[in-house]
């Protein structure tokens, strides 16, 4: 059974100045929250690290959470959004190109609360994918004590 979807977003080649700017990042996160009709619980938390460091932001949501971590020294901004109820897609690629001047944006989604079955691994393709998936399931069970 699915318990939600998680977006893992990596924006590379960002402007160092922009990803050090907590106001720009706050505006972006609040746009995500508004467009996806999410509900903030309490107050967002932001921390700016000493130069040349970046910014970390956290929004606790009734749907789960939204986080942002930036690394100006490498031009990387990362976002993690987990929602326990269905949400429409957000235009991550477009907005990160426009607001942070990202040169490359990778958006991955993970359906939470489901395990990858051996059948799904077989349908996915090659032997290395299957071995990787089995290894991942094994390590997850070992860590969680299952």
Residues designated catalytic? 64, 69, 84
How many residues belong to the chain?
146
Going by C-beta distance under 8 Å and a sequence separation of 6 or more, which residues neighbour residue 87? 5, 36, 37, 38, 63
Whole-number Å distance between alpha carbons of 44 and 58: 6
């Amino acid at each position: 059974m699915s318990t939600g979807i998680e977006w893992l977003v990596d924006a590379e080649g960002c402007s160092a100045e922009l990803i050090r700017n907590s106001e720009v990042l706050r505006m972006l996160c609040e746009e995500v929250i508004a467009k996806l009709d999410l509900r903030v619980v309490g107050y967002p938390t932001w921390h700016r690290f000493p130069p040349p460091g970046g910014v970390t932001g956290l929004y606790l949501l009734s749907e789960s959470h939204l986080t942002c971590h930036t690394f100006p020294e490498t031009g990387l901004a990362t976002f993690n959004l987990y929602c326990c109820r269905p949400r429409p897609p957000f235009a991550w690629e477009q907005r990160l190109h426009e607001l942070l001047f990202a040169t490359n944006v990778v958006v991955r989604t993970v359906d939470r609360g489901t395990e990858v079955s051996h059948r799904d691994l077989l349908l996915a393709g090659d032997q290395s994918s299957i071995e990787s998936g089995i290894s991942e399931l094994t390590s997850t069970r070992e860590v969680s004590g299952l």
